[in-house]
Homo-oligomer: A and B are copies of this chain.
Amino acid sequence: MGQSEKTFVALVGLGTVGTGAARLLLDHGDRTARHAGRILWLNHIVVRDLKKSRNVDLPAGILTDDLDRLLADRKVTIVAQLMGGIEPARTIMLQLLESGKDVVTANKALLAEHGPELFDRARELGRTISFEASVAGGIPIIANISQCLSANGITSIRGILNGTSNYILSDMDQNGTKYQDAVAAAQRLGYAEADPAMDVDGTDAAQKLSILAHLAFGSAVRWDQIPRRGIDSLQLADFRYASNLGYRIKLIADGETRENRLQLSVAPMLIRKGTPLAEVRENYNAISVVGDAVGRVFFHGQGAGQMPTASAVVADMIDIATGRAAITFRNLKLWSGTASPLPVSELDTLPVRYYLRFSVPDRVGVLAAIAGVLGEEGISIASVYQHDDDRNSEGNIPLIILTHESEPQKIQSALRRIRDLPAGYQTVEHLKILD
């Protein structure tokens, strides 16, 4: 196998990531050849609209709007399928597999929705699907979990997996920017879509977490069964109170095993300043993985964007060309139903510290009443802060309570009882704390 031999490859889709992948393949053939042991020769790029102007110089004849031309080209063995959305991406991926091509994808929504079908079909056909770019863009978390940390039982995965929401949270936290203004800024910078719903409501992070949880824990949890809360209902005041207490608020995708059960969630949480996840700024991603042999390993990098994602796509193409990817894909038996996954907790049961904010009248007895309910539920108070200078229009003041580790059900029960007290104290916010 010499470096003058060619493996013919193709792209479907020439949007942001496709353009980046085309540049790497066309402008850095020496580099890919060195790592693949052979030249990756870009033979077709299939697009919907041939007329659209492109930000990359392409050799003549490479661009086509005819998918069948690619499907019929038996020389091409590796295709990066870089369309977003579910359809026609799903159908095209099946067609590519059926025409004998290994497929690289960055489409986490497609994998989270149709992973079992696609992976089963690939296995039946003896083909490989590689998907490093589908989670955390430039951070090679898929390879690290499924290969580099293979001697470990993974006990925890905790990450900031959505760069858009992290950009918004960082802007709110550091600059006191209002939510809507931070969203608009993220849109101006190209970090957020015109409709940022999937980013800010936790959907995107939950889809990525479902993929990581499958790799790390063998659990085939659908993303829409992961309890999740987005960042769209957070108020600026809580960033300020949290900061004064030494915390930042981050959207955390969390997978934890304890006592042979797995618990998954996506939610904004307080994280102590100075710890690695708390210091992830702007649109970066980060992931902290705990293995029972290796301990905690932390990864930080660009979670999206043209070239970081293209870096992952082309690394996957190289891995397929060398034969490594086929080995990994065969051994891992992803979504094959043969793994014996950990049971997944239906309920949020792991004890954790909480940040609670109530809006209460500034009078004697309020704290005693609230503390009384918490005490009756067995919830131990770590500290209490009252902000007399933050009086709202009704004259209510914020009362903030940090608890010791408490079971989530007890917190829920206590908050209901506090709401139902004769005075009806309102819980404005409650967030988990990671120390």
Residues of A whose CB lies within 8 Å of any CB of B are: 1, 20, 24, 28, 31-32, 34-37, 132, 138-140, 143-144, 146-153, 274, 276, 279, 291-302, 305, 307-308, 310-315, 318-319, 322-324, 327-328, 330-332
Instruction: Contact check, A314 vs B151: say whether CB atoms are below 8 A apart.
Output: yes
CB pair B330–A327 under 8 Å, yes or no, is no
Query: Are the CB atoms of B331 and A35 closer together than 8 Å?
Result: yes
Q: Which of B32, B274, B293, B332 contacts A151 (CB 8 A)?
A: B32
The A interface, classified by DSSP as helix, strand, loop or mixed, is helix
* Contact across chains for A324 and B315 when beta carbons are under 8 A apart: no
20 further A-B contacts with Cβ under 8 Å, apart from A140-B144, A296-B302, are A20-B293, A24-B293, A31-B151, A34-B331, A35-B147, A37-B330, A143-B148, A147-B319, A150-B314, A151-B312, A151-B318, A152-B311, A276-B300, A293-B308, A293-B314, A295-B305, A297-B300, A298-B301, A300-B300, A323-B327
Residue of B nearest to A300 (CB): B298
Taken together as a complex, chains A and B put the C-alpha atoms of A307 and B295 apart, in Å, by 8
Report how far A153 CA is from B302 CA in the complex, Å. 16
Query: Which residues does chain B contribute within 8 Å of A35, judged by CB atoms?
Result: 146-147, 150-151, 331-332
> In chain B, what residue has the closest Cβ to A36?
B331
A–B complex contacts, Cβ < 8 Å, 9 sampled: A35-B151, A36-B331, A138-B295, A143-B143, A143-B148, A148-B315, A150-B319, A274-B279, A291-B311
